[in-house]
Each structure stands twice: as structure tokens, then as C-alpha cells.
Amino acid sequence: MMYVLATTNAGEVLKVPMFVEHYMEYHGNLSEFVMEHYDNHKKDADWDADQKLPFINPPIVLTVHAQLPELTFKIQKPKEFKIPQKNSIYQEKDFSNLYLSNIFQPPRLS
């Protein structure tokens, strides 16, 4: 548990009471409070208290910058090509299978 709290942002949850206390002292609504303190916050009279709010300073160890490559897809029209017809000597004809009935006959008794 100590390792998780020390190396991840899970420890920031423990700072939620400080968030509530600081909001109670703030004169305005919640959205204004969040915008003022979490959107490019500038130094003011209570800067030290602002730095104790949760998720203001995440652990540097786990800050990762990842950029996905840009993917582009192009669908091209397939190229048409003709397969040359080969002249073949063999020509297929309709063959009858009637000759097979003469070969296969039941056994004869002698």
C-alpha cells in the first residue's frame, strides 16, 4: 500500500479534504474554483495552499508523454489487367459415363 501511494496518483485522493476545505474558503461556485485553480493557475496570495490541492503536482516519476503516429489511409482504385487466353490443343468434350456400367457387374457363379 505504501508503494502504491508513493509512486502513483492514488496518494492524491488523500488530499481531497484539503480540496473541500480550500473550496469552503473560496468565494464562488465549484466550476469557477476548478477553473481558477486547475487551468493555468497563476501565483496569488494563497499559492502555498493551492499547491497542496489534489492533482496539482502529479508525481514526476509517472509522468509519461506518448504520441500516437498519424495514420492515413488511401483507398486506390484497383488496376484492371487482362489475362491473355492461351490457345490449347486439348478441348473438353461431353463424355458419357455409360461405359462404366459395363465394367462394374455383380460376381458370377461358375
For 56-61, what is the mean pLDDT?
A: 66
Q: Where are the domains of the chain?
A: 1-51
Q: What is the chain's percent helix, strand, coil content, to nearest 5?
A: 40, 0, 60
- pTM of the complete model beyond 0.85: no
The C-alpha atoms of residue 35 and residue 9 are separated, in whole angstroms, by 21
Confidence bin at 58 (pLDDT 50/70/90): low
